[in-house]
Structure 1
């Protein structure tokens, strides 16, 4: 049974996590763009205030989803960097015994 005060890190798991985050960020962006394209196609039949209100909300939604994608990409990058830092720290610690 693992100790709740213990943290076990493997380089492969960090690299894998970074890859999964990047993939999910891309998939999220693709899915949201596809959905927005479909909704905008339907909105093309609207006229007047409803159409204008929808376009304002859709533009804000698009901006927020792009921001979410950028944040996820940043997290993936930081996880990848952390993997390298853990590896370097491990090698340095090992050198003290060699």
Structure 2
């Protein structure tokens, strides 16, 4: 049996922000690595060509990772908005149900109280 999961918009927003912060740090580190590699542009020979191919793959993978992390942050943020909207809709429904009758009146149902 799965455990109960609770959250609120603030937690979801904090999680999305954390993913964005980690992504920013990661992108800064990847940019630093790319800068170090770019300083070796004078390298010649067959190994240089092979290494260049690896770096192109590295750049493409870095872009995919960046996009994926941005998508995750956006999805978390949207989930928080959806959660908040659902909570508000449920609260409105409960308030309308309560307002539609006298909740303090005796019930016509035969419900034992003991």
Q: Residue 9 of structure 1 is aligned with which of 7, 10, 15?
A: 7
Moved over 3 A (4+): none
1:81 aligns with 2:86: no
- Which structure 1 residue ranges, 5 or more long, are not aligned? none
Contact 1:11 1:86 in 2 (8 A): yes
Counterpart for residue 21 of structure 2: 23
Question: What's the Cα RMSD here?
Answer: 1.4
Contact 1:29 1:66 in 2 (8 A): no
Q: CA deviation at 1:4?
A: 5.5
TM-score (norm 2): 0.77
Greater share of helix residues, 1 or 2?
Answer: 1
Counterpart for residue 30 of structure 2: 32
- Which structure 2 residue ranges, 5 or more long, are not aligned? 96-114
TM-score (norm 1): 0.89
Structure 1 or 2, whichever has the larger Rg, is 2
